[in-house]
């Protein structure tokens, strides 16, 4: 009996090259830069069989987030305005904050747990997380759950 499917969030550097090329081939097909699967496979340097084997099992994170709730944690400096900067990024991407919890800072570092709703109007959610991660004073960011 087959168990419940599990999903994982991994950084790009941990994904095998063939899977990244499958995503690239899918993008070529979606944008019309390749007319056939064979053409997309040739342009990305994979076989058609590799494309068909993995095409339903990998996609970019942001493509599957619309209408989802994402919970993530951030460790950041305890400095005036940094929480405001994080919330501003979320607002700029038009995501909706559902919950927010910040711990009391220890040694000048606070942990922030947020749950946001990715709306149909929300931009690229992967860019949203990258923009937060790149804020000066943010040490660490990790996605805990997506539902």
What is the per-residue pLDDT for 1?
46
CA distance 125 to 103: 25
User: What's the rounded Cα separation, in Å, for the pair 33 and 25?
Assistant: 9
Q: Which CATH superfamily is domain 64-146 in?
A: ACT domain (3.30.70.260)
Give the pTM.
0.59
What CA–CA distance (Å, rounded) separates 77 from 75?
A: 7
Start-end of CATH 3.30.70.260 domains in the chain: 64-146
Dist. CA 143–CA 93, nearest whole Å: 17
pLDDT at 56: 81
* Weakly modelled stretches of the chain, pLDDT under 50: 1
pLDDT of residue 8: 66
Task: Residue count of the chain, please give it.
Answer: 147
């Amino acid at each position: 009996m087959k168990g419940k499917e599990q999903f994982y969030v991994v950084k790009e550097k941990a994904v095998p090259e063939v899977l990244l090329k499958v995503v690239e081939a899918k993008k070529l097909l979606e944008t019309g830069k390749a007319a056939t699967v064979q053409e997309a496979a040739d342009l990305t340097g994979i076989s058609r069989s590799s494309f068909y084997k993995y095409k339903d099992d990998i996609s970019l994170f942001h493509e599957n987030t619309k209408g989802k709730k994402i919970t993530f944690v951030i460790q950041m400096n305890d400095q005036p305005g940094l929480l405001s900067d994080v919330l501003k990024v979320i607002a700029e991407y038009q995501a909706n904050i559902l919950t927010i919890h910040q711990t009391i800072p220890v040694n000048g570092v606070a942990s922030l747990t947020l749950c946001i709703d990715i709306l149909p109007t929300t931009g690229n959610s992967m860019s949203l997380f990258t923009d937060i991660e790149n804020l000066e004073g943010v040490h660490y960011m990790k996605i805990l759950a997506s539902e």
